[in-house]
Each structure stands twice: as C-alpha cells, then as structure tokens.
Amino acid sequence: MTTKQERATWIDERLAKLYPETPVPLDHTDAFTLLVAVLLSAQCTDKRVNLVTPHLWRLADTPEKMARREVAEIDAIVRPCGLAPRKAQAIRGLSQILVEKYGGTVPRTFEELEELPGVGHKTASVVMAQAFGVPAFPVDTHIHRLAQRWKLTNGKNVDQTEADLKKLFPREHWNALHLRIIFYGREHCTAHSCDGTVCEICRTVVPGRMRAVKTKK
C-alpha cells in the first residue's frame, strides 16, 4: 500500500468487518443528554462518564430542569469526571441558553452548538453525527494517534487530522468510521500496547516500519 488512499480504503473495509455495529459509547436518551455526556467526557473516560450521568439525570435530565439547579449541585455529581467546577458551570450555562434562545431544544448546526459554553468543535461534531445523523468526523486522542500510525496524516494537530481524514474516506462512512477507529484504538492499538509496529492494521498498512511512532500533539 503505497498511497494514503490505498491505506484508507483497506482500513475502511477492515474496520467495517471488525465492527459491523457502532453503538455510541456514551449512554444517553436524547440530544441534550448526549451533549452533556460528551462535554463531561473531556479528559475523562466514557466508562466513568456513564457511571456519573445516571445520578446527574436524576437531578435534571432536561435543559429546563438543569437551568434551575445550582452550579454547586451539578458540581457535586460531576466532580469525578474532572475539570470541575468548569464543567458544572458549562452545563448550567448551556442549559440556560437552550431554554432562553432555543426553546429548550439542542440546535442542529455546528455554529450554534460551538457557541454554547464548554462546547468545542469535537463535542459539536459528536452531537451532529450521533444525535442528528449529520456527517462529521470528530477526532479524539485515539483517532489522532492512529491516523499518524497509519500514515493517513502527518498529524500536526487534530484540526489537520480531521481535514485529512475527511478527504480520504467517503462522507457517508464518517459517522460509523470515527467510532470504529475509536473501538480499534481502545482494543488493539492503544497508546501503550502498540507503537505503530504491533497491531494488525499497523503491520498491514506500513509493513516495513521498524521504529516506534511518536504521536504529534
């Protein structure tokens, strides 16, 4: 496989066989609960978020209910997810905006989502893809690492990685594919168990590699 496109095509097909189903790792019931869960997942594992959110939903599971809660109440629940009380403030703040500006619904554009407190491009991309079915390619640490190991990008930053991957893969595959890469990264090509020379995909797409790959941030 001498070109990025050849590698991308093979990876796309292989991951589809490995992971025919692509369940969203974060437990949620609607666009609002997904938005909050993704916000909480920043620098936190999905597993921990899924342990915390049932307690948060008992406190408030709609923008209207959350906007009426004190930041301290939210903070006491979400603290295990880290970056508190910033996340608690963001959750209450975005809930107030959703009520006041959007009638209690989550907006369906990247621009509007990214204007909400605590919501960056990656969070907005996950919501657009998984809640609304809009093609997006959220790049997390797993995808950023694997895209470099698989020589799909030179990976100077996550923005470039996202742009490069969007050029290589069919738009209609993006939503499932970004989850498949995450699943593979967690299971086979972790930061510690593979250095770009160990797992099946690394060995297949870059067979002559002898040195470990250092991930560029």
- Both structure tokens of 122: 């990656």
Asked if 122 is an active-site residue, the reply is: yes
Asked if 101 is an active-site residue, the reply is: no
Distance CA 32, CA 99 (A): 12
Would you call 155 helix, strand, or coil by DSSP?
A: coil
Distance CA 162, CA 165 (A): 5
Distances (CA, A) of 65 to 13, 32, 70, 96, 116: 44, 12, 11, 10, 17
Instruction: Residue 27: count other Cβ atoms within 10 Å of its Cβ.
Output: 16
The residue annotated as part of the active site, out of 61, 87, 122, 195, is 122
Distance CA 180, CA 215 (A): 20
Q: Which amino acid is at 28?
A: H
The residue annotated as part of the active site, out of 12, 46, 75, 140, is 140
Distance CA 213, CA 68 (A): 49
| Residues annotated as catalytic (active site), given as ranges | 122, 140
